[in-house]
Chain A
Amino acid sequence: MSTQQEQPTDADDAGTGQADDAADAGPSPQDRRMDKKADRRIERERAAGATDADAETVHLKVFRYDPEVEGKQEPRFDDFHVPFEKGMTVLDALIYARDEFDPSLTFRHSCRQAVCGSDAFFVNGRQRLGCQTQISDLDGPVRVEPLPHQDVVKDLVVDMEHFYEQMHAVEPYFQEEDLPDGDLEEQYQTRENREKVKMSTRCIWCGACMSSCNIAAGDNEYLGPAAINKAYRFAMDDREGEELKEHRLRIMEQEHGVWRCQTQFSCTEVCPKDIPLTEHIQELKREAVKKNLKFW
């Protein structure tokens, strides 16, 4: 291990002395490691044998639709029986089904670790990230559908254009022009302020919240939870000045901004990054009221 290399060289004599003691007392670290490795191998083989014996499979029911192929234009559900592995996610199962059974199965995925936000699906009646959802947590058969309230392009791929438009509508970028006083060019943020916006910065644009929102489904102009959360992220950032905050609140306080939210908590419920979306929307509502209330 690296600890041995880190030992100072001038302590060589003492070090070898200790090593000799250890060798006398019992097996060397390497032997112990080899033993552990052998144990692990045996365990792995036993686990593999168990899965072979049980032939444990995951039953996937996947939504299929392809407007370009005649005979696939009528939406249907395809069944896949994928061999289960410990730690398998819904995305793993879909990838296996595509690679081994049906190469025409279409879905978005990229990083496989809940960072890129490409693989939000409607799994067993709930918006989830495929790469973040363990098969073992789900009741079978696992039903995978494209995100609701969005047009399906093919199989599990939905049209995200509207979602991105709403996201861009709130100007989701830092726009302070003024540099801070002094020599520094960095825009410093206090730790407290960073804590405040921390959760809102975690958004990965997967669209799960927008898809779960009943209001967004009925009102195409509603900005939606993700976009409002983006606005919150910058409106609450102290590095942007008062003027910019007011500009952002002007976008938010419109009819189809924060006031469309009816606190159903669907978005907070499904957010794969655990962003308290409803809380952020409610806080922007209060900010908007505070801005407009004048008692004098």
Chain B
Amino acid sequence: MSESYNRGLIEDFGRWREFAPGMWAWILHKFTGWILIGYLFTHIAVLSNALGAAGNEAKIAAGEDIYTTTLQGLEGLFLIRVLEVGLLAVAVFHILNGVRLLMIDLGIGLEAQDKSFYISLVVTAAITVASVPTFMTGVGA
């Protein structure tokens, strides 16, 4: 046989329009998973750097310790509020799709896996939209 031609990765993101629901679910699950890991480490970094006044009762009572000022400063930013809504969306989708994958692992409803993916998308959207009033109160935007 002659040597053969390797076309490389043909089913790459260039063909994203042709992805099936199961593939989208997989991609979104990986994507949201990485975002959650990224958030986790940011969260730890921010909080552990904001503990400077630990034990200083007077400052804590006055509400001037680093922890309070940092968090109030962050929560005052419009961008942070938007990111919080995004974080909720990411977390909710990851949870719902995780439940979907659990069902798949248990062998329940494998024929309906595309429908359960769409349902998790819709529920994620609904929860995200419903959360906007709660997250966006009190920021001058």
User: Which A residues contact B (CB, under 8 angstroms)?
Assistant: 65, 67-68, 75, 122, 125-126, 145, 148-149, 151-154, 158-159, 212, 214, 217, 262-266, 268-269, 276, 278-279, 282-283, 285-286
| Residues in B whose Cβ lies below 8 Å from that of A65 | 5
- Of the listed stretches B10-18, B71-79, B87-95, B120-128, name the one at the interface; the rest are far from the partner chain: B10-18
- Of the listed stretches B20-28, B42-50, B52-60, B130-138, name the one at the interface; the rest are far from the partner chain: B20-28
- Of the listed stretches B33-41, B62-70, B102-110, name the one at the interface; the rest are far from the partner chain: B102-110
Shortest CB-to-CB span from A274 to chain B, Å, is 11
| Residues in B whose Cβ lies below 8 Å from that of A283 | 107
| Residues in A whose Cβ lies below 8 Å from that of B21 | 265
Question: A266 to B22, Cβ gap below 8 A?
Answer: yes
For A285, give its contact among B7, B17, B105 (CB under 8 Å).
B105
How far apart sit A145 and B18, CA to CA, in the bound complex (Å)?
15
| Residues in B whose Cβ lies below 8 Å from that of A265 | 20-23, 113-114
If A217-B9, A266-B23, A269-B20 touch, does A153 touch B113 (CB 8 Å cutoff)?
A: no
Q: How many residues of B contact A (CB 8 A)?
A: 28
User: Which B residues contact A (CB, under 8 angstroms)?
Assistant: 1-7, 9-11, 15, 17-18, 20-23, 25-26, 101, 104-107, 110-111, 113-114
Question: A154 to B23, Cβ gap below 8 A?
Answer: no
How far apart sit A72 and B5, CA to CA, in the bound complex (Å)?
12
Question: A75 to B20, Cβ gap below 8 A?
Answer: no
Shortest CB-to-CB span from B57 to chain A, Å, is 51
Question: A152 to B5, Cβ gap below 8 A?
Answer: yes
| Residues in B whose Cβ lies below 8 Å from that of A263 | 22, 26, 101, 104-105, 113
Question: B23 to A75, Cβ gap below 8 A?
Answer: no
If A152-B7, A264-B23, A266-B22 touch, does A282 touch B15 (CB 8 Å cutoff)?
A: no
If A152-B5, A263-B26, A266-B22 touch, does A282 touch B11 (CB 8 Å cutoff)?
A: no
| Residues in B whose Cβ lies below 8 Å from that of A122 | 10
Among A67, A151, A263, A268, max chain B CB count under 10 A is at: A263
In the complex, the 6 A-B pairs of residues with the closest C-beta atoms, listed nearest first: A265-B22, A151-B4, A148-B10, A125-B18, A152-B5, A264-B26
For A151, give its contact among B6, B11, B26 (CB under 8 Å).
B6
Shortest CB-to-CB span from A254 to chain B, Å, is 18
For B2, give its contact among A68, A149, A262, A278 (CB under 8 Å).
A68
